[in-house]
Homo-oligomer: A and B are copies of this chain.
Amino acid sequence: MAKLTKRSEDYSKWYNELVVEADLAENSGVRGSMVIKPYGYAIWEKIQQELDRRFKETGHENAYFPLFIPKSYFSKEASHVDGFAKECAVVTHYRLKTSEDGKSIEVDENAKLEEELVVRPTSETIIWDTYRKWIQSYRDLPILVNQWANVVRWEMRTRLFLRTAEFLWQEGHTAHATEQEAIAEAEQMLNVYHDFLATFMAIPAIRGIKSANERFAGAVETYCVEALMQDGKALQAGTSHFLGQNFAKAFDVKFLDKTGKQEYVWATSWGVSTRLMGALIMTHSDDNGLVLPPNLAPFGVVIVPIYKGEEQLNAINEVAFEVKAELEALGIRVKYDNRDTHKPGWKFAEYELKGVPVRLAIGPKDLENGTIEVARRDTLEKELLQRVDIAHKVQHLLARIQENLYDKALTHRDDHTHVVDSWDEFVSVLEEKGGFLMAHWDGTSETEEAIKAATKATIRAIPLDGLEEEGVCVFSGKPSERRVIFAKAY
């Protein structure tokens, strides 16, 4: 096992190495598509399960819509087509045949589709085409549906989890009788994401609204949760869109309201993706590898025996299996690694790399003294604890680690959130410190684009929790009513 590149040397290289070395994902033989390995997928499953629980708790059901979308569907919503139909995978044929020399296979030109099919980059169009059949009257509303699916966006420069041609996600698509109800839904789901990130992934995110430039193609308003990574760059962790009646009008979805009037339906959509794996890594991990919040760990505890010879191992096994059973009785998943093919030192490094929150080591001295060495992954601290009641102590330790990771990330975010009041300050802070820049902005797309062109920083969010505060735009000097968050972003 080679050591990872240090974050301070090359953050990007560290990230790429960590993803592969910790067995999370790897590049495949298909350009831009990744393989999510079992350990990485087990973490994604924990994310899925908890989100799914929260979606159902808020009244949503799952459904499944087609992978393929007829090309013409994309033309129906004007801004949507610009945002999505361009860089996408297009299915043009439905058959291959053996070449004439019999040595290879080739596309059968006789099997050309009448209308090309786009591999879904997002499903608003196919879903609203379906909702037209489901909705006649106000009694059919609201529709609160979510889909877990794969989507494809043809990205030229890809990075594992952060930007891949194919990725996994969930997309909620809801239909409502009133504008207020749809806005409330979009805001509710933003809060679901925000709370999930904080309490489950230990990621403190800012809730905000996107500027027009960064808005979802087809949305009236895009809400977002924006997190700050260790290197001072922002990562959009999730979005929730109020779509107005745009898709209802594009797909002619009307309903009879209580007064007997035909109205267009109001819509939202909201999603998070395997990108969250990137957020997880770049929020908590260190130069030794992944650091997992206990809520996300495929196993929260690993036990490693330290022994010479079979007799010692047998004695340690006895204690280890007892401890494992006690921990499992508390609902904690435990791995006991007593393989004789690897040395304890190798195992320590391996589980550190994989981010296992707590490691217990048991040696012959521990048997004599009734002790166990407990190491926590987040602080790398070790202590010797009495064997008695070890399970409850570890349970409390796991809770403390979960909290500590959140606190640490919050402190990091606070330390890297800078109030800047002039263009010089904006540029120098961005270059020297990075992070979230709280700056006044005149509200125009032109200024946002000029700032982006000059610095690569974009408006990540107009914070929902931000105070109104009069000021002048750092770039144009024009009046501004509140500070917005600028940052370079993933």
Q: Identify the A interface with B (CB < 8 A).
A: 26, 28-30, 33-38, 41-42, 44-45, 61-75, 81, 85-97, 104-107, 116-119, 126, 129-130, 133, 139, 145, 149-150, 152, 154, 166, 168, 341
Contact = CB atoms under 8 A, between A and B. Distances in A.
Contact of A92 (B29, B44, B107, B118): B107
Given A29-B126, A30-B126, A96 B67 contact: no
A302 to B, nearest CB: 16
B87 A90 contact: no
B35 A64 contact: yes
Among A30, A61, A118, A150, max chain B CB count under 10 A is at A30
B97 A35 contact: no
A37 B33 CA distance: 29
Nearest to A103: B75
Contacts of A41: 61-64
A92 B90 contact: yes
Number of identical monomers bound together in the oligomeric complex: 2
Contacts of A152: 67-68
Given A33-B67, A86-B96, 8 more contacts: A29-B129, A30-B126, A41-B64, A42-B62, A75-B105, A81-B105, A86-B95, A91-B92
Contact of A70 (B29, B68, B71, B72): B29
A160 to B, nearest CB: 12
Contacts of A42: 61-62
B38 A145 contact: yes
A33 B144 CA distance: 22
Contact of A75 (B29, B93, B104): B104
17 contacts: A29-B129, A30-B66, A30-B117, A35-B64, A36-B63, A38-B63, A41-B61, A64-B168, A67-B166, A68-B89, A90-B91, A90-B92, A92-B107, A94-B154, A96-B118, A139-B341, A149-B150
A90 B89 CA distance: 10
A90 B315 CA distance: 60
Contacts of A106: 71
Nearest to A145: B38
Give the most central of A26, A86, A96, A104: most B CB within 10 Å.
A96
A89 B63 contact: no
Contacts of A93: 89-90, 92
B33 A66 contact: yes
